[in-house]
Amino acid sequence: MKEGMSSNSTMSISQARRAVEQLKMEACMDRVKVSQAAADLLAYCEAHVREDPLIIPVPASENPFREKKFFCTIL
Amino acid sequence: MCDQTFLVNVFGSCDNCFKQRALRTVFKKSQQLSYCSICAEIMAADGLHENETLASLKSEAESLKGKLEEERAKLHDVELHQVAERVEALGQFVMKTRRTLKGHGNKVLCMDWCKDKRRIVSSSQDGKVIVWDSFTTNKEHAVTMPCTWVMACAYAPSGCAIACGGLDNKCSVYPLTFDKNENMAAKKKSVAMHTNYLSACSFTNSDMQILTASGDGTCALWDVESGQLLQSFHGHGADVLCLDLAPSETGNTFVSGGCDKKAMVWDMRSGQCVQAFETHESDINSVRYYPSGDAFASGSDDATCRLYDLRADREVAIYSKESIIFGASSVDFSLSGRLLFAGYNDYTINVWDVLKGSRVSILFGHENRVSTLRVSPDGTAFCSGSWDHTLRVWA
């Protein structure tokens, strides 16, 4: 937050104006409450956790990395 | 493969010059207008307007920042881990190294998975870029770059090419060929040109465009075929170290993190920064979108990883422990977004419960810093690369 704002000489007019423009634009943004955003993150997790092989492991035969057999190619 | 992701959506007649251009929002005497990028630049570089002084602009910026903080604080009604209390705790994890990829002669700096969930490309300090088959651990391709410290590499969505770059300040694309007679280095195509080292690169949804981040403080979008610069992204105050594209369903944005401790979200079409977050206390080494696209995680030299929600426009979780004092170099989510894997400079990988904020597991195995970490496209495994010259696939 403090970069560019501390020294009077380094901040040019165009930089200052650009910073003000950027902040005005960011201030206009529509935001949602954290409770809503958190609920959505939870919902996404719960909807997809069953398909996540690192949480609900698939049987070893279906996970190519956990399988015991070695891969050989026939040349 | 050929679908254009770079579409100028906000397109129309500029309020100043009336030419048909890509437009961005500007404020002139508190009035909201749509200017093309040329007119916006001219306006910004204008001399002071009436009643304006450098000091008044600065104080306006400070008061706007204060107002932003207020707005964000108003919506901070609850913490993520409180909402997550009702979620079941995760069980014990058994994750082991299933494959070790040996072959690099020096520190592994970057890696990426192919969409076929099997092939991996990795790059190292000695200038070598290797394509591996992770099932068999065989090396399928190898190319030697003309520079050392190849800090970025990426696999094309089609699986037919790779991109890499580093201290040469460029991003080059190599088509992959199985023809034994062809020399991979001969078909090299230089796409991006920066004025400092390349820190990260990623193909967009097609093989046709590449997004790059550089030590020169900018990110840029390039057309692979012509090498033309399509859009550049200015705003970071220092080296940009990482970037990640939003999952395709959620639109044309990407997030970047840099040495200025800021994470910035950009609109790829207009080149504008739409959101910025500055809560880390040191360089941000890695950023990764949450699978839904509504949030992203970051890993930093301040030894914490943080989760930022884009719609709430704030940081919603910090993943840290007093015992963790080394920086996090690389982060990635599991398929559902419930787990966050983070590689650290103390040689370990910590696995965090994203919702509850607690650590579920710590993985040992590497004998030096973990520099890069990616979960495979189908989520069955994740791969980590380290300064100990090896890559490990964990499942």
Tokens of A34: 């954290």
Q: Which residues of B touch A48 (CB under 8 A)?
A: 291, 335-337
Q: How far does the CA of residue B194 sit from the closest CA of chain A (Å)?
A: 22
pLDDT at position A71: 58
Non-local CB neighbours of B159 within 8 Å, separated by 6+ positions: B114, B115, B116, B119, B176
Euclidean distance between CA atoms B135 and B125, whole angstroms: 25
Question: First vs last Cα of chain A: how many Å apart?
Answer: 61
A63 to chain B: closest CA residue: B380
pLDDT for res B267? 93
Q: What is the pLDDT along chain A (75 residues), one digit of tens a residue?
A: 333 333 444 567 777 888 888 888 888 888 899 999 999 999 999 999 999 999 988 887 888 888 765 556 666
Cα separation, B296 vs B284, whole angstroms: 13
Query: Do B132 and B141 contact (CB within 8 A), yes or no?
Result: no
pLDDT tens digits, chain B, 395 residues: what are they?
333 334 334 678 888 888 888 787 777 776 778 888 788 877 766 665 656 777 888 888 888 888 888 888 888 889 999 999 999 888 888 899 999 999 999 999 999 999 999 999 999 999 999 999 999 999 999 999 999 999 999 999 999 999 999 999 999 999 998 776 677 888 899 999 999 999 999 999 889 999 999 999 999 999 999 999 999 999 999 999 999 999 976 579 999 999 999 999 999 988 999 999 999 999 999 999 999 999 999 999 999 999 999 999 999 999 999 999 999 999 999 999 999 999 999 999 999 999 999 999 999 999 999 999 999 999 999 999 999 999 999 99
Q: Determine which of B39, B267, B311, B375 to mutate to test the interface with A (most A C-beta atoms within 10 Å).
A: B311
Shortest Cα distance, chain B CAs vs residue A31, angstroms? 5
Q: To probe the interface with B, which of A7, A8, A34 has the most B CB atoms within 10 Å?
A: A34
The ipTM of this complex is 0.82
What pLDDT sits at residue B182?
A: 72
In this complex, do A34 and B355 lie within 8 Å of one another by their Cβ atoms?
no
Among candidates A3, A23, A54 on the partner chain, residue whose Cβ is nearest the Cβ of B64: A23
Interface test with A, best of B83, B87, B119, B296 (most A CBs within 10 A): B83
Instruction: Determine the distance in angstroms separating the CA of B274 from the nearest CA of chain A, rounded to an integer.
Output: 7
The predicted pLDDT at position A2 comes to 37
Residue B20 and residue B8 in contact, taking contact as beta carbons nearer than 8 Å:
no
Give the span between the Cα atoms of B266 and B212, in whole angstroms: 13
A19, A25, A64 member nearest B135 (Cβ):
A64
